[in-house]
């Protein structure tokens, strides 16, 4: 490894300082299966001399063992680390690699091309600033190319480099390159992608990856590495809208109270007015404290501690903003949701929602439409999402939170959905805006929603006989032990038989189980009788077993 080796040998501190000050670019490779994504990353590492000698020796051994590229180095093995990936010749997990050149630092994510690993691709794209879209020159734009392009646009990646790979297999045809270019531009226009660049490459041979190739004299653009080193991403940073999600309240002693976090966007200085959301209390910035001491200003992505002139109530999960530039605050919003687990998403089911440092519970109240990411067509007849599907959904939280639309601010417009039982992340969302408030959110609760929330079917159970009241109480106890919600109706608490009948019907209309005494057989779903104390337990057991066997509760 010889990259800047002279500077490292002469002055390691100068090298580290120079490296620290380089601008960082996060990027990912995506595209269809076997388009050469891992090979491209391996080529970038190889041609920029970022492979250590022991890694190179191991690569030569592995290339000979796998035998996929003849006598040449199989550069994809530098990235495909899982045994299953090497055996199948595909990428499964998201692999991150770090390298640098004289001009920039890079974190590059190699994402899988298979449709079944779309959730992995979305994970890799969530922090990327640029996407390299790989297209096999022989096959052109495929379904997965469209899928990944849509996800990249959905996740707010503004810079796309289309690498038309394997040009050596089409004799470096300019006509084929131009054909693919026009096809992709037509598709990108539908997605609203504006900064799209094209490079004809051969990742295996190294054409136009780091150095310009003599095999494509007709290509006048920049080679891949030159684009990566010069693409302007600084303008993508939001320096206008100050957002500071509070991650931790630092109170080491009685004389200091600071609010720690990373600035999601904007700029802040001592003396600036701020507002805490959702409480809307205001104050003024007193100090900006960092590890290296107090500073006069702080910007996006800096981790700082802010102190205020006034003692206002601010907790973890609150957001500090400027009063004249507020984000949205609500417990309801619309969002694009990527579903990431085998268990289908269920509307009305309670999930944990994490938005920045805010941790709360919520439900998907409606699927506005499911999106076919291959054709971009929408289906508004769906009420669930399966693994790897994407939909535009309405989310309702248990408390108001501050947020921005994702296209405006990626940091404050993204959230994850967590299974309350397993603590597994099962969905990722990008907020598009407030939910439709034409009805002020006062939608009537449907019987289906109640059934899902209570996890039971409404039912009227009639109790008769000399021990009817005692039997009703015994059945209520059995139902309670099964996790069901029921109400006993007697003459004492619900009036005469007609009143009890009306009350029972009202309770079932609201998702409950009514256990009513002496109401007749015509409206009861099941009737039980007990004339002696000795009958109570056996009859109650018999009723609950029958209801379970017939799936009535």
Tell me whether residue 143 is in a domain. yes
**What CA–CA distance (Å, rounded) separates 282 from 538?**
64
One domain for residues 181 and 256: no
- Supply the pLDDT for residue 541: 93
Q: How many CA atoms lie within 13 A of 127 on its CB side?
A: 16
Q: What is the mean pLDDT of each run of 10 residues along the chain (553 residues)?
A: 57 67 86 75 76 62 59 60 42 69 86 66 82 93 86 89 94 96 92 92 90 94 93 80 94 92 95 92 95 92 94 91 92 93 90 92 93 83 90 92 91 93 93 75 67 82 94 94 91 90 89 92 89 91 89 76
- Supply the pLDDT for residue 1: 47
- Supply the pLDDT for residue 4: 57
**What CA–CA distance (Å, rounded) separates 226 from 169?**
24
One domain for residues 288 and 351: no
One domain for residues 270 and 344: no
In the chain, the number of structural domains is: 4
One domain for residues 55 and 146: yes
One domain for residues 464 and 353: no
What range defines the domain where residue 462 resides? Answer: 453-549
Given 235, 251, 279, which residue is the final one in a domain?
235
Cβ(233)–Cβ(129) under 8 Å? yes
Tell me whether residue 448 is in a domain. no
- Supply the pLDDT for residue 126: 81
- Supply the pLDDT for residue 455: 77
- Supply the pLDDT for residue 89: 43
One domain for residues 391 and 465: no
One domain for residues 201 and 231: yes
**What CA–CA distance (Å, rounded) separates 265 from 547?**
56
CB-based contacts of 418, cutoff 8 Å, min separation 6: 351, 352, 353, 354, 424, 425, 426
- Supply the pLDDT for residue 517: 95
Q: Which of 310, 330, 540 is nearest to 436 (CA)?
A: 330
- Supply the pLDDT for residue 336: 95
**What CA–CA distance (Å, rounded) separates 405 from 370?**
19
Terminal alpha carbon distance of the chain:
68
**What CA–CA distance (Å, rounded) separates 355 from 413?**
8
């Amino acid at each position: 490894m010889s990259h800047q080796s002279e500077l490292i040998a002469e002055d390691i501190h100068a090298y580290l300082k120079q490296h620290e000050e380089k601008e960082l670019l996060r990027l990912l490779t995506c595209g269809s299966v076997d388009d050469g994504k891992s090979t491209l990353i391996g080529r970038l590492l190889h041609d920029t001399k970022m492979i250590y000698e022991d890694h190179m020796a191991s690569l030569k051994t592995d290339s000979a063992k796998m035998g996929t590229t003849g006598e040449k180095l199989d550069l994809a093995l530098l990235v495909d680390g899982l045994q299953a990936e090497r055996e199948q010749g595909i990428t499964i997990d998201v692999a991150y690699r770090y390298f640098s050149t004289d001009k920039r630092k890079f974190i590059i994510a190699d994402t899988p091309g298979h449709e079944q690993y779309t959730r992995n691709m979305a994970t890799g794209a969530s922090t990327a600033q640029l996407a390299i879209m790989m297209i096999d020159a022989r096959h052109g734009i495929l379904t997965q190319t469209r899928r990944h392009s849509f996800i990249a646009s959905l996740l707010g990646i503004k810079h796309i480099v289309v690498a038309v790979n394997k040009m050596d297999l089409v004799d470096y045809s300019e006509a084929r390159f131009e054909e693919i270019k026009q096809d992709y531009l037509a598709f990108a226009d539908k997605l609203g992608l504006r900064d799209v660049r094209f490079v004809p490459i051969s990742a295996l041979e190294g054409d136009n990856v780091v150095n310009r190739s003599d095999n494509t004299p007709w290509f006048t653009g920049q080679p891949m590495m030159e684009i990566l080193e010069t693409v302007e991403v600084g303008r993508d940073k939001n320096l206008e809208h100050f957002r500071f999600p509070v991650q931790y309240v630092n109170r080491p002693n009685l004389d200091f109270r600071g609010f720690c976090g990373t600035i999601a966007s904007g700029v802040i200085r001592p003396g600036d007015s701020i507002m805490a959301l959702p409480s809307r209390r205001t104050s003024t910035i007193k100090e900006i404290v960092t590890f290296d001491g107090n500073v006069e200003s702080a910007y996006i992505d800096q981790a700082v501690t802010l102190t205020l002139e006034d003692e206002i109530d601010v907790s973890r999960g609150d957001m500090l903003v400027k009063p004249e530039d507020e984000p949205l605050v609500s417990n309801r919003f619309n969002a694009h949701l990527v579903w990431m687990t085998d268990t289908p998403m269920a509307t009305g089911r309670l999930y944990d929602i994490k938005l920045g440092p805010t941790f709360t519970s919520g439900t998907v109240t409606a699927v506005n439409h499911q999106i076919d990411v291959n054709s971009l067509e929408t289906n508004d007849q769906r009420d669930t999402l399966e693994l790897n599907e994407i939909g535009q959904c309405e989310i309702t939280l248990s408390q108001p939170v501050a947020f921005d639309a994702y296209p405006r601010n990626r940091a404050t417009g993204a959230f994850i959905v967590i299974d309350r039982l397993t603590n597994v992340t099962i969905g990722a969302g990008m907020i598009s805006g407030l939910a439709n408030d034409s009805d002020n959110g006062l939608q009537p609760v449907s019987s289906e929603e109640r059934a899902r929330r209570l996890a039971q079917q409404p039912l009227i159970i009639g109790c008769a006989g000399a021990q009817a009241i005692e039997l009703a109480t015994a059945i209520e106890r059995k139902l309670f032990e099964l996790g069901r919600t029921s109400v006993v109706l007697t003459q004492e608490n619900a009036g005469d038989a007609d009143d009890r009948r009306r009350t029972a019907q009202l309770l079932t209309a609201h998702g409950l189980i009514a256990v009513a005494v002496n109401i007749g057989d015509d409206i009861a779903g099941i009737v039980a009788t007990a004339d002696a104390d000795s009958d109570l337990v056996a009859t109650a057991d018999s009723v609950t077993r029958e209801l379970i066997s017939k799936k009535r509760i």
